[in-house]
Structure 1
Amino acid sequence: MGLYDNLPLSSTEQSIRLIKLQTASHRNAALVANISVIPLATNPDYAAVSYCWGSPTTKCRITCNDTVLQVGENLGAALTSIRSISNLPLWVDQICINQNDPRERSAQVAFMQKIYSQAMRTFVYLGEPDSGAVNEACKVLETIGIPVLQMSDYDKDELKLKTRLKVGLATVKLAVQHPRLMKRAYSEDVRRALERLIRLPYFSRKWIIQEVVMSRSLFCLLGGRCFEWDPFITAMLKQSRTVDSSADVYSATKVWWLWDLVHEFADKRRPPLLTLLYYSRSFKATEHRDYVFALLGAASDSHEFPEPDYELSVEQVYRETSSSFVRQGNGFLLLHLAGLRPTDNGLPSWVVDWRNFDTFYSGKDFSSFCAGGMDGSITLTPTAAILQGFGKIVDRVVAVADLFNPEVNLCDRLAHYIDNCTFAFGEFYEDDTQKLSIQRDLASMISFEMKFNVNDPERTMYKFNKDYIDVSACQDLSALDSLTPGQEVLMFCRFFLLKSERCISSFGHGIGVSGLGRPFQKLRPIETPKILAEDAVANGIARDSAFENFLRYNFFKPTTRPVMTQDRRLGLGPSMTQKDDVVCVLFGANAPLILRPSAGGTYKIVGEAYVQDIMFSETLKDDRYPVQQILIS
């Protein structure tokens, strides 16, 4: 009989196994524990452990009830640290769940949110300090009690103002009593050490989302040191505001979202599963079914989805999850996230593959458009294998250009876009006006004029979080800030010269006088792709339109490919777009879809696209395009 055979879990009540670590005379002593079965209904006193499993090849030994178990090295280090600061019984998934029994795993995962919410405290094991600077940062934070560093931006409401004053007084007191320590707390080495903490593997693990948000009391362990969660994370995030690299900003964005989510749960606000899946797409899980299962317990609508079942295949789990979203009425949001992938994943194109979601998701914001109007719906066929809706096939892709280069700044990226598209799409323009016409059209498209739908300015597609701008989808965040001050001044000088000539010429034309703009023609630069791209960027900045610049930046990304349609419409499609794909306006959708004809009269989704002249319902009343049923497989 094995360890778990002797300690079966009840099938009629929610029971868990708990381990009680034996005390040790020194840190390197062997791990020994007693394990027992406890019903959750008895409200036992225990602590939960949240950690990163780490490498499966490196193991640590722990003796439980005279049986030797092999656990991950990272868990062994976590238990060693916890043993020295707490004598509470512990719940640890790797030990307390029989990992070789799919049915037991499914049953325990189904009520894991209750396990963490009932725990007296949760120990978050971050790892061991990796350098002397991290050790120094920990010493400083430990000595000053961390809240001194909790100097984030507070709104001017009474409660937060009191908090800010309280923290400010603590800072002054520390500066008077410990001036050297205060200086060390804000030294460059300590700041950089805190920044490195944000990149710890723990903050990329999918399971931590449910574990930290459902916990009543969180403590972070870094080596042998223990800190309260909220001030510790706030201290890290405060330092992250000074980071320069895109990778660090991207890591900080994940931790910011997690920190904010913890506070939402503290205020009794639980987001739905789709919101959690969408914003946690950069968090990873070793078991691919856990991309969904790890979030179910924290979702407000978890009862509308099948319970975790590790006997199902990954494809079955993802298909059932997407089908549930469609039945909830979230079909259009699903299409925003779905699409073809470079390799066959065995899933229908409308089913979101959460394993590769962060890698291939285009992340474009279509909330200000209404290509398919306000009315429409998407349903499942009786077999739940095909999506069906009504719409129009309005165009066909006849040419595609190169993907955008994420390694260059925004102006250079757009200049390459104009140059590349001039070559790729030139055959569709008349010879005598070909180059100039296409370059001006492309420059016009860069400036988009992407305004809110004037018919319904409150319409928003992002039900994930209507107030959130999806910065985390843009991994090369430094692209907009890559210009030096000198380059920026020169760009604006050229921009104002072009604008001055156009405005004066237009004014002269209006009063019947020609040639007023001629003096500027000798000064203004020649309209090269580079100048046209700079002009489009500066135009948005000069209008102080942060939203427009965000949209422009968000659309011209490595996941986007310039396209030309049969009716000579320019567009920006998903990276997988190819010739002979069709442009579909689906009733009720914000953006047109790029579809690929498939067997049996169905289509596969390539993804959403921006296509000129059809983004604001222009084709809905055009009789050239008949209404038809659209079947998506």
Structure 2
Amino acid sequence: MYPFNEKKDDGQTPTVGTALEAVPSYLKALVGCIIPQSPAVYQPLPHKDSFRLIHIQPGKEDQPLKITLHLSRLHEQDGLPSYEALSYTWNCADEPNPPPCTIQNSIICNGTTKLIRHNLFKALSQLRYRTKERIIWADAISINQEDDLEKDGQIRLMHHIYRKASRVVVWLGKDDYDEAPRAFETLCAAANTWQRGQKPYTYEVFAGKGDERQISCTHAPPPTSSKSWVAVMAFFISDYFKRLWIVQEVVLAKHAIFIWGDCSLSWSAICHGIEYIKSDPNLAKELEDRGFQNAHLMYHLSKLRLGELKATHPFLHLLDMSRSFDVTNPKDKIFGLMGFPTEDGNDTRCGWEKADTNRTIDPVYEHSVEEVYTLVAAGILQKDQNLDVLSFTSHIRPSEKDQSYVNPGGIIDPAKVLIDLPSWVPNWDSGYILSPFLAFGENNQFSTGKGAGMKPEINISVKINETNEKHGNMVCVKGLVVDTIHEVEDQRPGYISLAKATPELKKLLIWSWARKHKDTTLETFVRTLTAGRDAHGNIVQSAEQPHQTTAFCELLHELKPESITLSSLLPTEIETLDRKKFNTQLVREMLWKASCYRSAFVTEGGELGMGSSTAMKGDKVVVLYGGQVPYVIREQEGGWYKFVGECYVNSLMNGDAIAKGDGIKDTAEMGVERLFELR
């Protein structure tokens, strides 16, 4: 280790600033040579695996917080000390005035006063021991936040830093309403009930500095109606579970402990508590929240890391699963996931992990958001040699925000951060989450562009750090035009809950029913509006289709949409309906999943489809080789195309049938194999 010396501070030594006041102005230029300067807080990192550990000096609550920074190397065999890694949110929401992000507190770092955010100050103060030093790693201090090059390098090491820590300490902040004891006791009891027969979990209460009291929870968890579950809900709705960086910080840890106020509970106990909650549908419904879903995803990834699950995830799947997490910097939607092992061992599907070589993209903050997202999309296309990434390119009409807006024909994505991307590149920070029509499991995929003889041909041209080169960032793919869009329905909003979605579902049903072809069967109609899947995302098999159709008809009777004749729509097989897999609530959920932020459309060939709300009359429905689903594109002057989005057309979901010519309209343009240049 390479310690930085801590400057002694007895409160009597005048500062450089005070001394300068007595110096004549014409001599101030020489002062730097006369008065010794304070040691720099940050010294350069000498090696690629160098990082800084924080030594929190012992002290009482009323004493100043003092730390020293020490250089270590991750790959030191004997010299790396045991340390803890801190996981926390950078905000300080417990202090409403002044605004959270402006509150700072001073500490003494290497003998120099340093300002840090309030939430981190609270965490370090809580973690400080009275009589011995404590060694931790915390990003905001351990990394020089003013040095982008250093940040780039340290981000590549972060997954190693969290993996090598003796444990990860999660700091949730103060417990203002005394909810932590009830929340942790309830989760602990639920965990012990779930894993009955194993060593029971306990949670800890800090009675004082260095004095921790363990509380056993061998009793049964409270009933669903108990107010104790409200405290559990308060735990999961914490801002902590919305932050993307925490995923790798917790999932990659050897051991993690959550501290909330004066209580602590292990991540392992929380995970088993989540299992208990998910096993009770009523309880799961009560606690259903973005934070709880994010915590459940983290638990799933923890099981993958520990080898308890055999499933693997491509990097694209991680990007998809993490869309509900927040980042301050949109680039962190990518960089925050770079430490995860995926299908190729430690090699992410963008090729940037394996022994720090063979990277398609490095975590370089100097790149713009547009450059990072474009490089990632290009890397995934190049490595996977399929078009799955295109299904996450979701263009949204902004009309829901501005009722006077009329779509002029462009594809506009009203992102939280307005960025100008090529039309084929997903915006991972758009704030709009659509349920894609594709799937990652091989046995649960459509095969539109994967029929006999449909060999993918993907050519990519991406230019970075060049001005006015957006249109130079292109991908050329082989495929064929199969139809043309004739009419498009209005977009449905996605910001309302399923419980309030009835009027929108009625609009969808009425519009689609009035325009379906006379030869369209009821089953085809149902499959189109639900994108061929059930509420769990599985493709509805032929034997299951009558059950889904029956449940759909029951839903029609509940909704009573105008202009749809219901008398003849309720099948006689209603008594044989498999209500565990198909009922009106599940069909309603699938309708909403498939249509959120989307629009139904009708093609010139009379096909009913579901796709991007930015689709327009004249857009082409295409089969692109290597794609699971059909797509919609728009021809531009010069012969290139804008990518509009994925779509569902029931007759086009089977690639082998398309290869035989099924579903392709008989015109000179249709069915002719060609290359499409997407920009």
User: CA deviation digits over 1:504-537, x for unaligned, max 9?
Assistant: xxxxxxxxxxxxxxxxxxxxx9995384898599
Say whether 1:355 aligns with 2:397: no
Q: Which residue matches 1:529?
A: 564
Structure 1, unaligned runs of 5 or more: 153-162, 171-177, 430-436, 454-467, 472-487, 496-524
- Whole-Å Cα distance in 2 between the matches of residues 4 and 36 of structure 1? 14
Q: Which residue matches 2:600?
A: 562
Q: Which residue matches 2:677?
A: 631
Q: Which residue matches 2:125?
A: 80
Structure whose residues are more often helix by fraction: 1
Rate the CA distance shift 1:192–1:22 in 2: closer, same or farther, 3 A.
Answer: same
Checking the alignment, whether the CA contact within 8 Å between 1:368 and 1:451 is kept in structure 2 is no
> What is the TM-score of this pair, normalised by structure 2?
0.70
> What is the TM-score of this pair, normalised by structure 1?
0.75
Q: How far off is 1:331 after superposition?
A: 3.4
Q: Which residue matches 1:482?
A: none
Where do residues 422-571 of structure 1 align in structure 2 (5 Å cutoff)? Answer: 425=515, 437=518, 444-448=524-528, 469=536, 491=554, 529=564, 531=566, 535=570, 542-543=577-578, 546=581, 552-553=590-591, 555-571=593-609
Q: How far off is 1:403 after superposition?
A: 3.0
Q: Which residue matches 1:606?
A: 644
Where do residues 34-49 of structure 1 align in structure 2 (5 Å cutoff)? Answer: 34-40=68-74, 41=76, 42-49=79-86
- Whole-Å Cα distance in 1 between the matches of residues 481 and 561 of structure 2? 40
Checking the alignment, whether the CA contact within 8 Å between 2:104 and 2:118 is kept in structure 1 is yes
Checking the alignment, whether the CA contact within 8 Å between 2:505 and 2:591 is kept in structure 1 is no
Q: Which residue matches 2:407?
A: none
Q: How far off is 1:448 after superposition?
A: 4.5
Rate the CA distance shift 1:527–1:296 in 2: closer, same or farther, 3 A.
Answer: closer
- Whole-Å Cα distance in 1 between the matches of residues 379 and 50 of structure 2? 29
- SS in structure 2 opposite 1:60? strand
- Whole-Å Cα distance in 2 between the matches of residues 293 and 234 of structure 1? 29
Checking the alignment, whether the CA contact within 8 Å between 1:592 and 1:615 is kept in structure 2 is yes
Rate the CA distance shift 1:80–1:185 in 2: closer, same or farther, 3 A.
Answer: farther
Q: Which residue matches 2:510?
A: 419
Q: Which residue matches 1:314?
A: 369
Structure 2, unaligned runs of 5 or more: 1-35, 92-99, 203-214, 348-352, 397-412, 464-472, 539-550
Residue number among 387, 390, 400 corresponding to 1:332 in the alignment:
387
- SS in structure 1 opposite 2:288? helix
User: CA deviation digits over 1:182-238, x for unaligned, max 9?
Assistant: 478557121221122111111111111111122212111111222211103433563
Checking the alignment, whether the CA contact within 8 Å between 1:332 and 1:378 is kept in structure 2 is no
Letter of the 2:474 counterpart: I
Letter of the 1:196 counterpart: A
Q: How far off is 1:612 after superposition?
A: 3.7
User: CA deviation digits over 1:86-117, x for unaligned, max 9?
Assistant: 84311111011110100011111111111111
Rate the CA distance shift 1:542–1:416 in 2: closer, same or farther, 3 A.
Answer: farther
Q: Which residue matches 1:234?
A: 272
- Whole-Å Cα distance in 1 between the matches of residues 340 and 274 of structure 2? 25
Q: Which residue matches 1:577?
A: 615
Rate the CA distance shift 1:136–1:615 in 2: closer, same or farther, 3 A.
Answer: closer
Q: Which residue matches 2:459?
A: 380
Checking the alignment, whether the CA contact within 8 Å between 2:84 and 2:136 is kept in structure 1 is yes
Say whether 1:399 aligns with 2:487: yes
Say whether 1:96 aligns with 2:139: no
Q: Which piece of structure 1 moves more, 396-405 or 289-298? A: 396-405
Q: Percent identity?
A: 23
Residue number among 145, 148, 158 corresponding to 1:112 in the alignment:
158
- SS in structure 1 opposite 2:675? strand
Q: How far off is 1:609 after superposition?
A: 0.7
- SS in structure 2 opposite 1:234? helix
Q: Which piece of structure 1 moves more, 602-611 or 400-409? A: 400-409
Where do residues 141-156 of structure 1 align in structure 2 (5 Å cutoff)? Answer: 146=188, 149-152=191-194
Which has the higher relative contact order, 1 or 2, with Cα contacts under 8 A spaced 6 or more apart?
Answer: 1
Q: How far off is 1:614 after superposition?
A: 2.3
Q: How far off is 1:7 after superposition?
A: 3.9
Say whether 1:18 aligns with 2:61: no
Q: Which residue matches 1:291?
A: 333
Checking the alignment, whether the CA contact within 8 Å between 1:448 and 1:552 is kept in structure 2 is no
Rate the CA distance shift 1:376–1:10 in 2: closer, same or farther, 3 A.
Answer: same
Letter of the 1:309 counterpart: V
Checking the alignment, whether the CA contact within 8 Å between 1:447 and 1:552 is kept in structure 2 is no
- Whole-Å Cα distance in 1 between the matches of residues 552 and 628 of structure 2? 37
Residue number among 64, 71, 76 corresponding to 2:109 in the alignment:
64
Q: Which residue matches 1:277?
A: 319
Checking the alignment, whether the CA contact within 8 Å between 1:395 and 1:584 is kept in structure 2 is yes
- Whole-Å Cα distance in 1 between the matches of residues 221 and 160 of structure 2? 42
Q: How far off is 1:557 after superposition?
A: 2.8
Q: How far off is 1:381 after superposition?
A: 3.5
